Amino acid sequence: MTVVAKNDHVKDEDSAARTVATAEQSVDGSELLRLTEAYTARLTAWTEAYQEEWPRQYRAKVEEQVEAALAQRTDGERVAAAAEPDSEFFGISYPWWNILVLGPFQAVTPLGPFRPSKIIRTGEDAFMIVVLWRNPLPLPGGPNPSAAQIMASYEWEVRGETINLSNVTNGPDLTPVTGTFGAGFIDAFVMPIPPGTFPAPVEGRPLLYELNFVMDIKGVGPGLPPFAGYATWVFDPDTEPPFLFVPEAPAGLQHDIPVRFLVYR
């Protein structure tokens, strides 16, 4: 990927040295809120469709088989059977929770930042959108609560951890975000990448970074194992135009591929 245009706006060199805590963001807050709400609504619609489809295909069969098997177990064994982060009920998977990340995004303007958003000039703002999902369907073998209900009081922490791929060294981490799930089954928030997060590279030697999102769920109740994981689903917002014999690559989801972006001067 190449940068087709460079920002003519001159930035002070000391702007790259600003810390994450003190950097001021120029990204429009209302635009961040609009994007977050749009993707939250889309994920909610998908989950509602999933709620209708999953019971139709599997629920009757799963509940019959689970009840027959669990009737022979003690109460403690019954809890343990449904206590894995992704539980298996006779070959049918019940996912408890997952994490989706979208980005990076930049507020594109005529004088910069420019597209694509994965090419970030030193001193520019960028941000990610993080969506946390908990399964609203009840655990099979009911009547049982859903994962969303069981996990409502649990605290979570999400960290953005980077690796400098150009130098194969540890990179700066984003400021962690913490919270409590509460009601509902979807939580979405913006994780900023403020100016000064990454050191300014030498001109002519841009630095390639990889960004992974790690999540830990705290306060897990008795009978349940710790919930921890990392994001394997990433929405890439950039469209790759076609060139030579290579077709266009539209924006979309990618699986098990970390977020990557380039920081240049």
Q: Cβ distance 179 to 156 under 8 Å?
A: yes
* pLDDT on residue 111: 84
As a whole number of angstroms, the distance between CA 106 and CA 234 comes to 16
pLDDT tens string, the chain, 265 residues long: the values are 443 333 333 333 333 333 333 334 455 556 666 767 777 777 667 666 655 665 555 455 545 554 555 455 444 443 334 444 677 665 667 889 999 999 999 988 888 898 899 999 999 999 999 999 999 998 877 688 999 999 999 999 999 999 999 999 999 999 999 999 999 999 999 999 999 999 999 999 999 999 999 999 987 867 676 689 999 999 999 999 999 999 999 999 999 999 999 999 9
* pLDDT on residue 29: 59
Amino acid at 243: F
Read off the pTM.
0.71
Alpha helices (H) in 82-144, listed in sequence order: none
* pLDDT on residue 14: 38
The residue assigned the tokens 């060139």 is 243
* pLDDT on residue 91: 61
Q: Which class for 98: exposed (0-12), middle (13-18), buried (19 or more C-beta within 10 A)?
A: middle
Q: Which class for 120: exposed (0-12), middle (13-18), buried (19 or more C-beta within 10 A)?
A: buried
Q: Is 143 helix (H, G, I), strand (E, B) or coil?
A: coil
Q: Cβ distance 186 to 47 under 8 Å?
A: yes
CATH class of 27-240+249-264: mainly beta
Domain layout of the chain by residue ranges: 27-240+249-264
Q: Cβ distance 40 to 70 under 8 Å?
A: no
* pLDDT on residue 95: 87
As a whole number of angstroms, the distance between CA 158 and CA 24 comes to 22
